[in-house]
Structure 1
Amino acid sequence: MKPHITISYCPKCGWLLRAAYMAQELLTTFEEELGGVTLKPSEIAGSYQVLLGEEVIFDRKRDGHFPEIKELKQTVRDKVSPGKSLGHSDRKAEA
């Protein structure tokens, strides 16, 4: 069974579009590896979490920021398909 991602977001904060964008990016990048991405409105104000199965892999409050899509893709890749190349998303930032 392929892993599933849930993006839980605060609808009152207007974060649906951010969650939908991240879902689209993850589904495009991991179309063979993921079983799906669910968008879930949170009942907790200010909440934005990304879960892989039951594991919270990103929490805006815990981590202190929203995930960059590059960071999120790398985290998902490391957990579901460690050998997968992410192309330009794997390149290190220029010093």
Structure 2
Amino acid sequence: MEKIKISIEFCTLCHWTPRAVWMTQELLYTFQNDVAEVKLIPTDGGVFRISVDDEVVWDRKESGFPEPKAVKQKIRDVIDPKRSLGHSDK
């Protein structure tokens, strides 16, 4: 399986850098063997968007702020829908 590229766009004016870093940590811990890179993209305009290989899996403007569990499930559904995420599936 080819390794995935995750990008997290986040608004620096809104001070969401810690949230983006925290989400990065959570995703790397869960998908450590599947990830080629995680790119943090500082921006403005209230953006908090997570993409996998250029496919948006979470956009704050549509769904609010995500919990790591929800993002992990979305990423799993993109890369391997049958994979168990253990406690993140409960």
Q: State the distance in 2 between where 1:20 and 1:81 align.
A: 24
TM-score relative to the length of structure 1: 0.87
Query: 1:88 — aligned with what?
Result: 87
User: Greater Rg, structure 1 or structure 2?
Assistant: 1
What is the aligned-residue identity percentage? Answer: 44
Query: 1:23 — aligned with what?
Result: 24
SS for the counterpart of 1:35 is strand
Q: Which amino acid aligns with 2:58?
A: F
* Match status 1:51 vs 2:67: no
Q: State the distance in 1 between where 2:83 and 2:66 align.
A: 20
Q: Which amino acid aligns with 1:57?
A: V
Query: 2:38 — aligned with what?
Result: 37
Query: 1:11 — aligned with what?
Result: 12
Cα displacement (A) at 1:35: 1.0
TM-score relative to the length of structure 2: 0.92
Question: Contact 1:6/1:38 (CA < 8 Å) preserved in 2?
Answer: yes
Q: Which amino acid aligns with 2:78?
A: K
SS for the counterpart of 1:67 is coil
Q: State the distance in 2 between where 1:69 and 1:54 align.
A: 19
- Report the aligned-residue RMSD: 1.1
Mark the runs of 5 or more structure 2 residues left unpaired by the alignment: none
Q: State the distance in 2 between where 1:55 and 1:79 align.
A: 9
Q: Quick check: which one's strand share is greater?
A: 2
